[in-house]
Amino acid sequence: QTVVTQEPSLTVSPGGTVTLTCASSTGAVTRGYNANWFQQKPGQAPRSLIYNTNNKHSWTPAQFSGSLLGGKAALTLSGVQPEDEAEYYCLLYCDGAWVFGGGTKLTVL
């Protein structure tokens, strides 16, 4: 069973830039892993932000972007705002199954 790993926590200052990553235990993440990224705030359902590595939904704020970086999927937040404080999850498609990362708790401080 593939294990997907994210940073457990990150802290960023308001207005700053932060990159969250998503690694697969099977090797380098490529576009074929179809990475999706989600934001979840306490007590709420997850909200989809990015699909297929770097594609945004119509509702995805402009400061969010997805990419591949050093063999991992990555989510970059630019010009971070206090309301971006949340848990972020990546999701990879691995050998016919979807696997979530453990999540990154992003603190804006």
Partner 1 sequence: QVQLVQSGTEVKKPGASVKISCKASGYTFTSYHIHWVRQAPGQGLEWMGIINPGSGVTNYAQKFQGRVTMTRDTSASTVYMDLSSLTSEDTAVYYCARELNIEWTYWGQGTLVTVSS
Kindly state whether residue 97 participates in binding partner 1, applying the rule CB under 8 A: yes
Contacts of 80 (CB under 8 A, 6+ apart): 12, 13, 14, 15, 16, 17, 18, 63, 108
CB 11 within 8 A of CB 19: no
The least distance separating partner 1 from the CB of residue 11, rounded to whole angstroms, comes to 19
Which of 12, 47, 69, 78 lies at the binding interface for partner 1 (CB under 8 A)?
A: 47
Beta pairing class for 104-108 and 9-12: parallel
The least distance separating partner 1 from the CB of residue 55, rounded to whole angstroms, comes to 7
Kindly state whether residue 29 participates in binding partner 1, applying the rule CB under 8 A: no
CA gyration radius, the chain: 13
Kindly state whether residue 56 participates in binding partner 1, applying the rule CB under 8 A: no
Which residues lie near partner 1 (CB under 8 A)?
1, 34, 36, 38, 40, 45-48, 51-52, 55, 57, 89, 91, 93, 96-103
